[in-house]
């Protein structure tokens, strides 16, 4: 097992990068469905963001262990996508049951969003990026957490924008979804400013 | 041969992973089992399911949980009314007092022609936004802004804005009261469903001021108060208001109101018929 050697500063940079320059939604276009679907109210968006962060962090740890302890020794790396989908889906279910039993307050606020994450591409994407870049265990967990925070940031900002759009009076052809997509595009352009533009 | 082996290993690993995940989930569902009160599901089945928020909770499921937990009365659902309250009482095994059926009423008669405006509003099409701009475009501080925040709030599609004033369709209104919270002017009130008369004004200004602001504002002339045989209508703070426990629905206030802002409803084949003026009242009955 050869992992990319990362110092503490590198991990911090990695996390900052996952939030801003390589934001999952705006530069990788992962998790666009919940981004558009659950961003109509700011409090909903924050709930969804929390749920995604939570699942990404835990799944980062579990998928890492499964890949390096089971798939790699058996030379089954090529099946990681299928394996990760299975693991994440089972994991989300267990987390949901665990929360319902022991942390009802958290369950009530995240409960309806957790099943939505079962097949969320952002969660799967974070797990796959960890393997692709060859991160060790701790960077993987940190990356998952930071990517989740990046998702939360993006969806919360967007929910704020949509709350304002509610009261806008656009031409009829732009009303509703077209307007939302335009706003999402503009936001993505703003975020591209973090990584700079080169030709 | 080697190829077959690798396929077998892959199948074996995935079968193992699948079994492991399945066993884990089965175990977790036993370990983390939460005993849910069955009555909660029964109550959710009885409730209207509109999630209107009229009871002050996020939805019907939340109300059911509160009723089972004893935090809410079985009659808390304003939309379901007597029938639902009775059924929930049976599920909970307690006697319930039957709530009175209510309906929402917009207490403003100042249509865009009758109420004077102080400026032309061209901002966001929302009453709460307009309210922030000096209390809306009408001179009257208690007039309907007419941008339809209540329309957007109503889960039953019962409200529409006609000539700049919100109007409730009584056939659709379930009396949940969500609009009374949504209105930034607080001029939508819940009144008993059967009540026959109401004052279509909420202005508490003095008569002279009201006269300058709106052609149909209550000027507190007290004619209704003096003519009411059952002392049900009183002028308080320069505004007439009806005490529905005393009102007999005789309609003398309607006849005597010089501003024609006391509205009356009469019944036709059991249906509520809402009319404005005494002569229109006669027309709709004939």
| Mutation target vs A (from B10, B124, B151; most A CBs, 10 A cutoff) | B10
User: B20 in a domain, yes or no?
Assistant: no
Look at chain A and report how many structural domains it folds into: 1
User: A1 in a domain, yes or no?
Assistant: no
B260: left (phi over 0), alpha (psi -120 to 50) or beta: left
User: A198 in a domain, yes or no?
Assistant: no
A128: nearest Cα among A94, A82, A89:
A82
Q: Which residues on chain A are in Cβ contact (under 8 Å) with B10?
A: 76, 79
Interchain contact, B21 vs A87, CB within 8 Å: yes
At residue B190, φ and ψ (nearest 5 deg) are -90, 125
Look at chain B and report how many structural domains it folds into: 2
B169 and B120 both lie in a single domain: yes
Could you report the per-residue pLDDT of A148-178, keeping only the tens digit for each? Answer: 999 999 999 999 999 888 877 788 898 888 9
Q: End-to-end alpha-carbon separation of chain A, Å?
A: 37
Q: Which residues of chain A have a Cβ shorter than 8 Å from any chain B Cβ? A: 66, 70-71, 74-76, 79, 82-83, 86-87, 89-90, 93-94, 97-98, 100-102, 166-169
**B31 to chain A nearest CA, in Å?**
9
- Mean pLDDT, all residues of chain B: 83
Could you report the per-residue pLDDT of A57-85, keeping only the tens digit for each? Answer: 999 999 999 999 988 888 888 888 989 99
Q: Interface pTM (ipTM) of the complex? A: 0.71
- Mean pLDDT, all residues of chain A: 85
User: A162 in a domain, yes or no?
Assistant: yes
User: A196 in a domain, yes or no?
Assistant: no
B216 and B262 both lie in a single domain: yes
Q: Which residues of chain B have a Cβ shorter than 8 Å from any chain A Cβ? A: 6, 9-10, 13-14, 17-18, 21-22, 24-25, 28-29, 31-34, 124-126, 129
CA distance B278 to A139: 79
B57 and B187 both lie in a single domain: no
Could you report the per-residue pLDDT of A113-146, keeping only the tens digit for each? Answer: 777 777 788 899 999 998 988 888 989 999 999 9
B158 and B246 both lie in a single domain: yes
Mean pLDDT value across residues B58-63: 82
B182 and B155 both lie in a single domain: yes
DSSP label at residue B119: S
User: B256 in a domain, yes or no?
Assistant: yes
CA distance B204 to B220: 9
Of B95 and B5, the structure prediction assigns the larger pLDDT to B5
B234 and B147 both lie in a single domain: yes
pLDDT of residue B285: 39
CA distance A165 to A167: 5
Interchain contact, A79 vs B125, CB within 8 Å: no
Interchain contact, A74 vs B21, CB within 8 Å: no
- Residue carrying structure tokens 């701009």: B133
Domain limits at A117? Answer: 16-191
Interchain contact, A101 vs B9, CB within 8 Å: no
Residue of A nearest to B148 (CA): A167
Domain limits at B113? Answer: 102-285
CA distance B275 to B283: 10
Interchain contact, A167 vs B17, CB within 8 Å: no
B275 and B216 both lie in a single domain: yes
CA distance B149 to B159: 10
pLDDT of residue A191: 86
User: A120 in a domain, yes or no?
Assistant: yes
User: A164 in a domain, yes or no?
Assistant: yes
- Assess contact for A36 and A176: CB atoms under 8 A: no
Angle ∠(A53,A54,A59) on CA atoms, nearest 5? 100
Q: The whole model's pTM is what?
A: 0.61
pLDDT beyond 50 at B18: yes
B256 and B197 both lie in a single domain: yes
**B24 to chain A nearest CA, in Å?**
8
B50 and B150 both lie in a single domain: no
pLDDT of residue B33: 78
| Mutation target vs A (from B7, B19, B31, B32; most A CBs, 10 A cutoff) | B32
CATH (domain of B56): 1.10.15.40
pLDDT of residue A96: 84
């Amino acid at each position: 097992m050869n992992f990319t050697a990362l110092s503490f500063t590198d991990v911090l940079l990695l996390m900052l990068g996952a939030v801003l320059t390589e934001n999952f939604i705006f530069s990788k276009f992962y998790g666009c469905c919940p981004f558009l679907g659950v961003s109509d109210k700011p409090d909903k968006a924050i709930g969804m963001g929390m749920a995604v962060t939570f699942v990404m962090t835990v799944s980062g740890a579990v998928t890492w262990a499964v890949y390096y302890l089971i798939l790699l020794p058996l030379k089954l790396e090529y099946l990681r996508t299928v394996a990760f989908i299975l693991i994440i889906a089972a994991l989300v279910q267990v987390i949901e049951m665990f929360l319902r039993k022991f942390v009802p307050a958290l369950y009530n606020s995240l409960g309806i969003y957790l099943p939505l994450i079962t097949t969320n591409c952002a969660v799967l994407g974070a797990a796959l990026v960890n393997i692709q870049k060859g991160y060790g265990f701790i960077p993987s967990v940190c990356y998952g957490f930071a990517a989740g925070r990046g998702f939360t940031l993006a969806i919360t900002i967007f929910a704020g924008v949509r709350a304002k759009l509610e009261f806008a009076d656009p031409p009829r052809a732009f009303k509703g979804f077209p307007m939302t997509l335009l706003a999402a595009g503009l936001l993505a352009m703003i975020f591209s400013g973090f990584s700079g533009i080169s030709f | 041969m080697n190829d077959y082996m690798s396929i077998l290993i892959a199948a074996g690993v995935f079968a193992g992973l699948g079994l492991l995940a399945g066993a884990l989930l089965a175990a977790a569902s036993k370990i983390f089992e939460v005993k849910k009160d069955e009555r909660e599901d029964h109550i959710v089945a009885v409730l209207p399911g509109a999630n209107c928020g009229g009871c002050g909770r996020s939805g019907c499921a939340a109300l059911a949980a509160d009723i089972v937990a004893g935090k809410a009365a079985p009659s808390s659902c304003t939309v379901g009314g007597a029938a639902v309250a009775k059924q929930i009482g049976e599920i909970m095994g307690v006697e319930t007092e039957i709530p009175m059926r209510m309906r929402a009423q917009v207490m403003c008669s100042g249509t865009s022609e009758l109420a004077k405006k102080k400026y032309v509003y061209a901002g966001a099409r929302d009453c709460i936004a307009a309210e922030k701009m000096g209390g809306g475009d009408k001179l009257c501080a208690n007039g309907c802004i007419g941008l339809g925040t209540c329309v957007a709030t109503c889960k039953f599609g019962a409200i529409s804005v006609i000539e700049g004033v919100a109007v409730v369709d009584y056939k659709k209104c379930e009396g949940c009261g969500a609009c009374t919270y949504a209105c930034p002017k607080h001029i939508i009130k819940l009144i008993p469903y059967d009540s026959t008369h109401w004052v279509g004004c909420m202005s508490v200004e003095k008569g002279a001021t009201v006269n300058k602001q709106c052609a149909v504002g209550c000027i507190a002339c007290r004619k209704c108060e003096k003519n009411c045989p059952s002392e049900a209508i009183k002028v308080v703070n320069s505004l007439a208001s009806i005490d529905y426990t005393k009102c007999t629905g005789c309609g003398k206030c309607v006849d005597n109101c010089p501003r024609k802002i006391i509205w009356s409803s009469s019944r036709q084949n059991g249906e509520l018929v809402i009319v404005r003026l005494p002569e229109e009242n006669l027309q709709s009955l004939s």
